[in-house]
Amino acid sequence: MSERIQKMISRKELHFGDFTVFGFTRDPNFINQRLSVQFEITPQIIDIGSFGQFFFYTSYGDVAESEEALVLKLGFLRSKTKSALNARQLLEQKLVSPHSIDSDGFSGNGLVVALSKTEPVFSAFQTLLGMPQLHYSILDDGIICSDIFRCIVSLIPHRELNDKILPQHFLFQNVYGPSTYIRNITRLLPGYYLKWFNGRIETNLRRSLDVVADNLKYIHDDKKALNLLNDSFEQIVGDYITQIESRGQGLVNQLSGGVDSTLLQSFINPKLYHRPNRSISYVIQVPSFEYEVDYARQASQLLKTDHTFVNYTSQDYPGLLTRVIDLLAQPPNHETTPSLLAIAEFIRSENWSERYFFTGHGSDTLFGFSDASKLKALEMIQKIPFADTWLKGLGLILSPAKRLSQSLLKGSEIIASRNNPDAFVARSNNLLTYDVDWGLVQRSFGDSIIRETLANRRNFPLQYSKSDHYLDKVNFIELLTFTYDLSVKNQQLALTHRMEQVFPFFDEDLIKLALTIHPDIRYIKGFKYKHLMRRLLERRTNAPVAHKSKGVSTVNEEFVIWMRTGPLRPLIDDIQRPGFMSKLDFDHMIQTPNYFLLSLLTFDLFNKRVIIGNSE
């Protein structure tokens, strides 16, 4: 790596921030040689006689102990009666034990772990779409677990790239399922229970997205749905704020000005009474982002928040991107992730006292995103005889109108392939991939591997839902893969700065309620997507912002320019060609950058800085 590049991406001091690490070992030197030296901590030791030792450390978790067990709670949990649950209550009410966890006894968004003090056994459970994670690695002498992926990466003896996930990375920019970017590191899937007993692991799914038994039990009435959603948001946001304040902490809302974050702010305000009401958002200093800035400013004025804009320029981006990869020990799955790091670094540099940051992320895949209109149109059109033929003909006739023509031709292809789920253009494969160069990935990995990877992603949500609704099928893929992974990585970044993000849209009680609303009105009404959230915001604010189109939170066109001739160009020129890519394809990508090049750039940086360790 050249001196110029090293100077450009010179990083701030890296730190682990808040984390939890625990496990079991039969090696008496493990704790001193790895844990104490690597993290400069003194973990709690639980001696299990001749079997070995449990070790445990958390810098922020809620912990309770008895003579037989140690219980850890991360996140926000509540009982069946909707009262907050802490670790002591989970233990005393016998909801958790090292041998079993009564996952039906609580809900929310969190992770629970129970370690035995008398035998080599522990249990763990992660709520559906829970943000606190459990990563683990099986070693010859035991097991290492942590909520932070980078902690596990730092502790395992050898780092090896898990090359099986490469097609996922280049197709979807994320890795879903239990596999991770590094071999022999596994993660517990959301909604799953895990039990480890003396070297043996068993897991089983405890949560489902199928909460309605038959079509007649769905909510079909808009007014009823809106009333129930309003009550649910009131209860969940109120519970989160109560739990946050009981911990002596404050909160901030990440207010972009969109429907989701503005709606959250409308529920936060009444709970804070006369206390400081702060909000924050990032600003990428390019002309196309001004619309987003104006939108956040209008929302802040409407809801009377003390708003802070965190500004950064294109020159800041290379350093932010490389620090993200260093802190996550894996590639980000979206170009906006460095923006969250910019916020975190600003907050810590300014010594803000608030720890918790609310976000509206996740709403799109629960309540409808822009592609819902296209999906509904295709669902209606394909019922017309020979729809693919006349749609193609219309697209050819309108070829002078390039954008409209391309949309019609693509629609024709999608309809023609409706009985072939393996087709690249099929809606579950194509609509939720991000500017993929299909020809390049085919040549790099081969048709059979690409089709297998697409099929695996389509089938992944089937363990959570058997819904055959055309909108559920696509949205559940997005929800359980890209959207969830993006949220998890943002939370991991926040924890490195001793902050926590709060995701009300991923709370189990809200998810369960949302899924009782029929998909035909939950995602879209007429051709208005996310109409329930818009109408709920209008009801609460009586402001036109509820139905105003929002600017994008990305700068894709500028991003390509940064790679072509801007501040990312030195990193692009420094990319090493991976073995699976031909020299011809590689040279073409480097010489003519497009958005897909981001996948190669993040993989190259990850490989150098994490796998090879070329980051010192």
Query: Is 120 part of any domain?
Result: yes
Q: CA–CA separation, 604 vs 588, rounded Å?
A: 17
Gap between the Cα atoms of 149 and 615, Å rounded: 18
Residues 220-233 have a mean pLDDT of 96
Prediction pTM value: 0.94
Residue 213 has pLDDT above 90, yes or no: no
Confidence (pLDDT) at 13: 58
Confidence of residue 547 (pLDDT cuts 50, 70, 90): low
CATH number, position 199 = 3.60.20.10
Q: Is residue 132 part of a domain?
A: yes
What pLDDT is attached to residue 36?
79
Distance CA 167, CA 163 (A): 9
Dig out the tokens for 260 from the structure: 């989701």
Q: What is the pLDDT of residue 614?
A: 42
What pLDDT digit, counting tens, does each position of 350-385 carry? 999 999 999 999 999 999 988 888 889 888 999 999
Q: Is the pLDDT of residue 615 over 50?
A: no
Residue 337 lies in a domain: no
pLDDT higher than 60, residue 5? no
Q: How many domains does the chain have?
A: 1
In a domain, residue 324? The reply is no
317-328 vs 484-495: helix axis angle to the nearest 10?
90
Give the tens place of pLDDT for each residue, 425-473. Answer: 887 887 656 678 889 999 999 999 999 999 999 999 999 999 999 999 9
What share of the chain in percent tops pLDDT 70?
95
User: Is residue 122 one of the residues assigned to a domain?
Assistant: yes
616 pLDDT more than 50: no
Average pLDDT over residues 268-290: 89
Its domain, for residue 31, covers 20-205
For 592, other C-beta atoms within 10 Å of its C-beta total 10
State mean pLDDT over 590-607. 93
Q: What pLDDT does residue 288 have? A: 83
Q: d(Cα 492, Cα 209) in Å, to the nearest integer?
A: 25
User: Does 246 map to a domain?
Assistant: no
Answer whether residue 596 shows pLDDT above 90.
no
The pLDDT value given to residue 4: 52
Q: Is residue 133 part of a domain?
A: yes
The enclosing H or E element of 302 equals: helix 290-303
Do residues 261 and 360 touch, judged by C-beta distance below 8 A? yes
> How many Cα atoms sit within 13 Å of 178 on the Cβ side?
12
The answer, yes or no, to whether residue 38 has pLDDT greater than 90, is: no
pLDDT at 291 over 50: yes
Domain presence at residue 410 = no
User: 491: helix, coil or strand?
Assistant: helix
